[in-house]
Chains A and B, each alone.
Chain A
Amino acid sequence: MQKGAGQKLIRFDNVGLRFPGGIDVFKNINFSLLQGTFHFLTGPSGAGKSCMLRLIHLSERQSQGTISLFDRDSTTIKRWEVPIFRTKMSVVFQDFRLIPHLSALDNVALPLQIRGVSTHTSRKQASELLDWVGLSDHLDLFPKALSGGQMQRVAIARAVITRPQLLLADEPTGNVDDQNALKIMYLFEELNKTGTTVIIATHNRSLAKEFPYSELYLHDKTLTVNLPKGAKSI
């Protein structure tokens, strides 16, 4: 068992999100996730999956309810504390969000450098990770020279290099073929085995069904939790 496993990492209590103009994205959402678990966040396009990830990543504030992150009420987190919380989690963005003037290697090494790791060490670790995601021949290429799938893998390598406690991935398989989608999922499973809590947002429910993990299904502004066969709780 990993250190900290079984502790509540995220807790949503009656959480609602309303856009300016009064449109509710979702409301009265309740769930809690334990450390070291693996979850799919599914739902049709526009259901609010990305918004939910943004709430967890402190990029957005809920309109109602309470979100507890790492045992802290998110509304009490001050602006200067946000980077501290963000160092505990990583995000794989739907649009990759790679820095265009940095090579694949430097993009992956960047989160470590932000945390004060030396350039030499961070580049060495980034090189190993890119090798792990099958991009050892693309270290010095810039994002514009990479395909969608390759950028996706660079974004994943960047997200996991800090060994975060929580990994949020927004449609991580959206730009790759089925074979590569499975490979990426196996990467996340590997990471989960090291104790990282993983939340994968995807509209592809069939992909979620191929894995024995709980599914948080967002639809009609509410959330339904579907547990894998044999599981009694999330």
Chain B
Amino acid sequence: MYLAILATFSYCILQGMIGFWALGSTQSYTIEIPAQIKVDASDSLEMERRESHEMEYIAAVLAKTPGIKSVEVLPREESLALLEPWLGSGTFLKDLPIPKLIDIKVVSNLKFNMAQLSATLERINPHIRLIDHRAWHQSVASSSTILETTLLFIIGFIVISILGTIAFTTQTSLLMHRSIIEILSLIGASDNYIAQQFQRYALSMGIRGSIIGFILLVLTVISWLWFFDWDKGASFFNIISPQISWLWLLIGIVPFIIILLMMFSAHKTTKSTLEKAF
């Protein structure tokens, strides 16, 4: 039951991440303006003037482009922060010629003409790139589909294993307690009555398993957060939670469905075994 709950939880997290990525990437574009390399100190002023002029021109173009909701020039500090995980936080970073990044949010992809904007930008500077995040999102989405399918397969496999175990233990229990089953039958117990006893047992096992499964899940999540970073983990949950508000219900629904299936399996197995063996 723990594995089923954990797999469902992972599925929810994955859905949340996909939702978050989709929200951020399908309606967002980035303009990358390559950095100009200084040959000597005297170039500095001229380059800054040229860059500033270029930025003003791009801002004017973006203001006239239909379908754009917002434009945000990424400060150099933020661009540097993006490189820190790979290059470290040494002082040499400050002198690195890094491209300028402009983040564009569009109202909708239908109203926004990417090709036209790309051509306009190319006329300003042939090295400017307009990056469409949808392609990246598509590749992430196709990878996550594989993950989703795998998780669903794992959940299905766990459910089938649980049902198989229930059927097997019920059969074994019936044969082990054959004499008691015979007594029950002789004093007037119907197959349904006997099946209900096994069904009740499956219910109590399912409830116990679910409670233990939830406790273990909470412990697992706490240990993950403790192992990685508590604050980042908490903000991660805050970010993905809105994407999967209703999906959290699955963590409650899946064990409930499994318990129902366990009861059904116990009932059916009891009745068919009684019909064959008694």
Residues in chain A within 8 A of chain B (CB atoms) = 57, 59, 79-80, 83-84, 86-87, 90-91, 93, 97-100, 110-111, 114-115, 158, 162
A88 to chain B, nearest CB (A): 9
CB pair B187–A90 under 8 Å, yes or no, is yes
CB pair A114–B186 under 8 Å, yes or no, is no
- Interchain CB contact (< 8 A) of B191 among A80, A86, A91, A162: A80
Contacts of A99 in B (CB 8 A): 180, 183
CB pair B189–A114 under 8 Å, yes or no, is yes
The answer to whether B275 has its CB under 8 Å from any CB of chain A is yes
A126 to chain B, nearest CB (A): 13
Residues of B in contact, count (CB < 8 Å): 13
Q: Which B-chain residue is minimally distant from A97 (CB atoms)?
A: B183
Q: A177 CA to B193 CA in the complex, in Å?
A: 37
Q: Which A-chain residue is minimally distant from B179 (CB atoms)?
A: A97
Q: Please, could you name 7 A-B residue pairs with CB atoms under 8 Å apart, sorted by A? A: A80-B190, A84-B190, A86-B187, A97-B183, A97-B186, A110-B187, A111-B187
CB pair A114–B188 under 8 Å, yes or no, is yes
Contacts of B185 in A (CB 8 A): 83, 86
CB pair A83–B183 under 8 Å, yes or no, is no
Residues in chain B within 8 A of chain A (CB atoms) = 180, 182-191, 193, 275
CB pair A59–B186 under 8 Å, yes or no, is yes
B36 to chain A, nearest CB (A): 88
CB pair A57–B187 under 8 Å, yes or no, is no
Q: A190 CA to B40 CA in the complex, in Å?
A: 122
CB pair A158–B191 under 8 Å, yes or no, is no
- Interchain CB contact (< 8 A) of B193 among A90, A93, A114: A114
Contacts of A87 in B (CB 8 A): 188
CB pair B188–A57 under 8 Å, yes or no, is no
Q: A87 CA to B180 CA in the complex, in Å?
A: 17
Q: A59 CA to B187 CA in the complex, in Å?
A: 11
Q: Which B-chain residue is minimally distant from A164 (CB atoms)?
A: B188
CB pair A114–B184 under 8 Å, yes or no, is yes
CB pair A83–B190 under 8 Å, yes or no, is yes
Q: A128 CA to B183 CA in the complex, in Å?
A: 23
A148 to chain B, nearest CB (A): 18
CB pair A83–B189 under 8 Å, yes or no, is yes
Q: A86 CA to B191 CA in the complex, in Å?
A: 13
Counting chain A CB atoms within 10 Å of each CB, the highest count among B184, B186, B189, B275 belongs to: B186
Contacts of B186 in A (CB 8 A): 57, 59, 86, 91, 93, 97
Contacts of A57 in B (CB 8 A): 186
Q: A57-B186, A86-B188, A97-B186 are in contact. List 18 more A-B contacts (CB 8 A).
A: A59-B186, A80-B190, A80-B191, A83-B188, A83-B189, A83-B190, A83-B191, A90-B187, A91-B187, A97-B182, A100-B180, A110-B187, A111-B188, A114-B184, A114-B187, A114-B188, A114-B189, A158-B187
